[in-house]
Amino acid sequence: MDLAHLRAPKGAVKKKKRVGRGDGSGHGGTSCRGHKGQRARSGGKVPPHFEGGQMPMVRRLPKKGFRNIFRQEMAIVNVDQLKNFPEGSTVDAAALLEKGLVKKVGCGIKLLGRGEIDRPLTIKLPAVSSNARKKIEAAGGTVVVGN
């Protein structure tokens, strides 16, 4: 036996239904599509959202809210997350990315004041809340805003 004589097992391959080849074939006339109408025509498909002519769901429901296309997503870091940094180190965007506290910088990073800190750090970030600034400076650290 060689490749030229290979065959699929019996019943594994079905013949394609040939329609529109006369009444004697059993698939003539309307070619198994019924009589007239949208689905009998070529390209006659009904889109999935079509609801039979009644008012579609997307038009029945009221519009609500709005999405600001100018929104700026800032990454958020809280004061209690800075406990991973050793005393006297500098905390900036690169250091936060390296430690895994921020996944992506986006439109900047903002330091918020949740939690406590017990060591002096130098913070160099684009935005720092007033509460976070007080806690950092109370611990003996410095804050430089803007990058």
Instruction: Judge contact between 81 and 112, C-beta under 8 A.
Output: no
Tokens of 132: 């976070």
Residue 18 CA, distance from chain mean position:
44
- Residue spans of the domains in the chain: they are 75-145
Note the residue count of the chain. 147
- pLDDT digits over 22-49, tens only? 999 999 999 999 999 999 999 999 999 8
Question: How many Å apart are CA 54 and CA 35, to the nearest integer?
Answer: 23
Q: Taking the model in full, what pTM does it have? A: 0.56
- Would you state the CATH architecture of domain 75-145? Ribosomal Protein L15; Chain: K; domain 2 (3.100)
- pLDDT digits over 98-126, tens only? 999 999 888 889 999 999 998 899 999 99
Instruction: Judge contact between 85 and 101, C-beta under 8 A.
Output: no
Percent of the chain surpassing pLDDT 70: 99
